[in-house]
Structure 1
């Protein structure tokens, strides 16, 4: 195996994962090939094997990253402290405004990939169950009965999946402005001005 330049930022594991992410989200999993990634990075294929046993190991790393980032962060936001259902749903809405918390492009790529990969579809189904349970739990925590809690959670899930699958593009400020109305639709209660202002403060430009 050829030596690689450890000072070259292109040779890091993160660089290979980032290149694989770009290819996956742009062209689908079939395009994620070691040779193509090496060419994209301007490296030889031998550098890849310093970090990954093979292509399957790289794909597994991307799936694990998706599970931790998207599903893990969604569950965490559902479990975050909130004094009201409005505040709890705003906590969840942080995901839709912060790409560091939830990557919609990656979620869409994983869903497209899973259509032709039964093993990944099983993991996707498990992730969706975790998301549904966490979001249903938010409503249960604030006194909604089980049936209503599930329906309201599903309404939020299907709305967000619709945003992702339709690849909706709207200015962040426009989407932000609608979010208090979404809270009212999803919960049956209009958020208070204090709740809106706390949410706005989290997402105001630095």
Structure 2
């Protein structure tokens, strides 16, 4: 007896919401928001167009999910690192600097893609402004927690965040060893205090390079 259902007739699994969303974010990073269309996504995840609608009402709903994911991954991680326990401001800054060196904490390529998208989307531009404000506020609160004056906390938080935004926007490419070696000097510049050698060693041990 033969099976009445041929392989070509067997419906493919619909994947998952995360599968579609990750593919959309990959397309955004590699090719810009104009490339994020349903059919290219379906090909990327080896699904049918119909499968998309199991998880998203339309392309606008996907866009919203992409933005929410970016906010959680990047802004949320900065806030979490600023709130992480630390005995000194330099330790706290090293916690924050982990974001710039660990893509699992902060996705710089996604941040740049969002900033490029926001140039032609006023609603997203407003959310980007809010995200930047939230990041600055988190760093400002961190400096205040270690006894800096409101005026100093303002300037130091702006300097810290705008330095990283500049790195992202300019797509700076650095030798990993050289960039890592500069981080303790950035920490001293942002805080006005030299980090303890033990703290530098602990930070470098978290980010081994070949």
Q: Name the TM-score, length of structure 2 as normaliser.
A: 0.90
Within the candidate set 169, 172, 187, 1:183 is matched to 187
Q: Could you list the per-position Cα deviations for residues 47-101 of structure 1 after superposition, in whole angstroms to 9, with x for gaps in the alignment?
A: 2112211111111111110111100110010011111111010010010111111
The count of residues paired between Structure 1 and Structure 2 equals 202
Within the candidate set 58, 62, 69, 1:65 is matched to 69
1:23 aligns with 2:27: yes
Task: Give the alignment's Cα RMSD to 1 decimal.
Answer: 1.9
Cα distance, 1:33 vs. partner?
0.6
Cα distance, 1:204 vs. partner?
3.2
Partner of 1:5: 12
Within the candidate set 81, 96, 101, 1:97 is matched to 101
Partner of 1:33: 37
Cα distance, 1:132 vs. partner?
0.7
CA distance in 1, matches of 2:146, 2:90: 10
1:160 aligns with 2:167: no
1:51 aligns with 2:58: no
Cα distance, 1:3 vs. partner?
7.7
Task: After TM superposition, list the pairs within 5 Å mapping 1:74-153 onto structure 2.
Answer: 74-153=78-157
3-state SS of the aligned residue for 2:53?
helix
CA distance in 1, matches of 2:38, 2:10: 18
Change (3 A) 1:50 1:3: farther
Verify the 8 A CA contact 1:19 1:40 in the aligned structure 2: yes
- In structure 1, list runs of 5 or more residues that go unmatched: none
Cα distance, 1:112 vs. partner?
1.1
Partner of 1:14: 18
Cα distance, 1:200 vs. partner?
1.9
Cα distance, 1:203 vs. partner?
2.4
CA distance in 2, matches of 1:64, 1:163: 23
Verify the 8 A CA contact 1:4 1:47 in the aligned structure 2: no
Q: Could you list the per-position Cα deviations for residues 125-171 of structure 1 after superposition, in whole angstroms to 9, with x for gaps in the alignment?
A: 11111111110111111111111111111111111011101111223
CA distance in 2, matches of 1:68, 1:172: 26
